[in-house]
A and B are shown apart, each in its own frame.
Chain A
Amino acid sequence: MQNNNILAVENINFRYRQKKILDDVCFSIHRGDICGLLGPNGSGKTTLLKCINRILNNENGSIRINGRDIAGLSRAEIAGLIAVVPQELNIMFPFTVLQMVLMGGNRRFGFSGIPGRKDCSDAMETLEELNIDNLAERRYNQLSGGEKQMALIARALFQRAEIMLLDEPISHLDFKRQYTIMELIKKITADKDLTTVITLHDPNIAGRYCNRLIMLNDGRIVHQGLRNNIFHAESLEGIYDMKIKIEYTNTGMEYVLPHHIQ
């Protein structure tokens, strides 16, 4: 039987100044998954993403992508497997959106790393795919929050990695743009045959867009599995330390509320 795991995290720990941030974290993700990482602030979500991308080095255990331990890979090889969309990127120098997107292709640009004409037209195509080619010559610093996230997603797409890690990509966006960005993530994950790991604060968004969930609390995984198996009030109460209820709309859609809200 073919193993469909693209990412396997096996028993990793991470400590910062004696404080355990990740404690024996172990999970696997299938190709094509949109996997939501849920948990309160400080539960280790961002640290876990940084370990997967080897920005931080886990103490023990292993992180395997397509069966290869990333500890033995170069930065360029990891960049070929994993692209990252940060929560918010503020930069000192005002690069244009096209220049930002081009940076995603760095690992393909050879020894000196200078993009050619073809690379520029490919980057423009990526912007066109996301319908943001009108932003190409705009300065990244001057974009709205939603436009910045779109630009960063375009950059991740141009990186042409198999896995996309997104660290709270919608936490500072308005209501409409949260859904715009999540719809886009869902679409490109399917269209581009990607696997997406995304940290989220809103369980409603996670429940709507993720087919797999990992719930973290205090550095430990408390629940994990397919969304339909673990998305219930008890599991959410376990990570947020509050009474939670799940109600249903007329169309049968679930929505999560704190228990005391009528």
Chain B
Amino acid sequence: MTSIDFEGREIPIEPGDTIAAAVYRSGVRIFSRSFKYHRARGVYCGTGDCPNCSMTVDGDPAVRTCVTPAVAGQKVERSTGWPSAGFDVFGTLWWLRAFLPVGFYYKSLHQPAGLWSVAEGYIRKLAGLGDVPIGHPPGNPERRYHHPDVCVIGGGIAGLAAALAAAAGGAQVVVCDEGGVGAKLPPGPLASRVAALRDLVRVSPRVLLIEHATAVGIYEGPLVPIAGPDALHLVLPKKVIVATGASERHGVFKGNDLPGVWLARGAALAVGRDRLTLGRSAVVAIDTEAGLESLEASRGADVPVAAVLVPAALAPRVPGGAPVIVGGRLVEALGRRRVRGAVIDGPAGHQRIACDTIVLALGFVPRDNLVRQANAGPVEVSVAGDVAKPGESFAAAEASGRSAGEGNPPAMEPAPLPAAPRNGFVCLCEDVTAADLDLAWHEGYQGTELLKRYSTVTMGPCQGAMCHGHLRSFVAERSPVPMLSGATTSRPPARPVRLEDVAAGARYPLEWHTALHDRHLEMGAVMEWAGIWKRAERYGDVLEEYRAVRERVSIMDVSTLGKYQIAGRDATAFLERLYPCRVADLKPWRSRYALLLNEAGYVFDDGLVGSLGGEGYYCTFTSSGADAMESWLRDWAESWGHSVRIVNQTSTLSAINVAGPRARDLLAKLTRDPVNARSIPYSGMSRITVADVPCLALRVGFVGELSFELHHPRLESVRLWDALLTAGAELGIKPHGLEALRLLRLEKGHIIVGQDTDFDSSPAKLGLEWAVKMDKPDFVGRPGLLRLASIPPNRVLRAFTFPGKEAPLDGAQLLAGDERVGFLTSSRFSPALGHGVALGFVYRTPNGFPTNVLAVDGTGRLLMGSVAPTPFYDREGVRLRA
């Protein structure tokens, strides 16, 4: 025999058992403790509609055990109660309820300041409901996308009939069911018919049946996410049919939450399907014809029926043998930890009946959350079966489903409201009683939406399945305004769903790799995120990498730069209008540093723009800006009606920067093309072949040394990299990573957009006015700059030096006297200069912008610095122009 582990106890399970059935059979009656008062709760609905049987299963909290199959080896425990759910000392809270009225925390826990943050932790622990399973091994669900013609939500008789009818009409159909199809049905003609339809669905090539899968919501599209056991199914159908059926109406009376009170279908399932014994004596309250079947089920289990409460119309149909109280009404369930009796209000007045089971057959409520969700948006859905007309015969439900599948769905009939609640628990999830609603009403929360927000009624895990109708009837009795008693808004998730399912397929961040990624790893590089890319941060000793650039020769993978070719009739006019620098006067095969401004005149990217002669222009952008630049360029081209060809070559071309005083010597070993200063001067470009790899060489100066950026076909990148390293060995070559680059460029005072800029960094704030030609008639950002010209900048980027052998950390705060006057954006110790160098923003003070500052960086150091001109290193630019 197989078993599950229930709180350390082995509990046998039988084939077809739900967890709840197995636990109940073992003698457990208290399945949970309630949210606020820690009231004892037992199995109630048996159909997954209420919260009472929620437990933690294999670490997953809030699992509805009445609809979850028992699987051998499961670890099951109740989530609430101390020392146990069976005996919970916090059950005494019920006797303190006068001090815990609805919304008590709004009234009492707001003063003194900070009280709530302390109280919240205790309240959360008291509430129970399990813990988020942090550290739980991820189930790693994937996503599946489906594009059927029809999505049917609900695999009951109506849903299956709808699916088959739609498929017969040639449609592709996805149908989902929360449990196994038919799992919520007791043995009988309906179960047999559903099984027959299920078999037809399973062999239909046009229907995909997804069982044990919960429809989370209905979104625009329409899009129906369905959390299944294996994956999150994202269904994008042309049409949605909701056939979610109906839940049984919740009964609200004093003591209505005691273990031993059952909704009739749950009782019938427990007896007929799970072969459980409910008790020794039952009171059955019947309001509808369908309730008579529940009476039969109870009788079939040999539970003596102590009384049947029934309306006069149904009285003649009550089978003989049971005492019938015509017109009788349940007033109270007696007992503390479980039902011990019932108080009936009947023709003979109040009457106490000893019993241990109360079965409620009070009618049906459509499970219409999804319909209300869809109707709140622009999605039209069809309905079928009980959700359209609760309580109809199963033949009628099948016909209704068939019609919906054929394109003639039934109209949705408004469900009648129950009698207004007088006593007892309206909302089982949130422990909201009729008295709570009454208090809230008198405090001014007069309407369903207001009561919902104030008392949290309908906001628990069952999402109003039990209490929504009672809330509406409560308001309707007190106000004649229909709007106040209207249905509340329904939002996803319609049913509980695991966070893991919501995040299905999202655990795989896109990690862009250059062609040299594997080479970097082979060389022992420490990789780091740089925007969307993974880049080499260092290969070993950063200082050694730095020295290779300053003293010998080094290479760096700069393939991540944005690389675009711009051609076409209007290419020059387009770029002239795009950039704040001049473009039209660029000589062929020369390039220029260029800022990119947004419409407000703020810097958001930078790079080079170079002329390719008759081939148009070659533009580079920062690595982090590469991805978004294409749409930005296209937007402007379209706005201006320019005929340009914008070709994104970021992925097509790789780039390696060869830098250092011996860079030319290295290239000369690998190319027959001239690379002297006259052939490729500083800021010049040329097409050369290096190690048999065709390259566009750009003379650049970011690191402040003689540098050639070799842009080349991606598939040739490894070959070129290897050739450079091999040929450079005798020159002492060493590759450098991002950290060395940050230091090298800082010594030149070059900014990194994003690090040394902010969202409102104008060229003037950055000291880059020289890169902007305001005498041009128009360019992106020019109107913004004209406006900014009349506003003195409140802060500016300045360069600082820090004497001594230390430099503050990036982000260090700057003080002048006692006043905070700015912060550093980049800061390093300069090996070449022997002191700290930095860039940072300083704010305007009454005495102007501070020139002497004290840097505080959280390490305990206080470093004096002063404003200095840039570049710090090679001020005349002799080295990079070599």
Do chains A and B stick together as partners?
Answer: no
Binding site for A on B (CB under 8 A): none
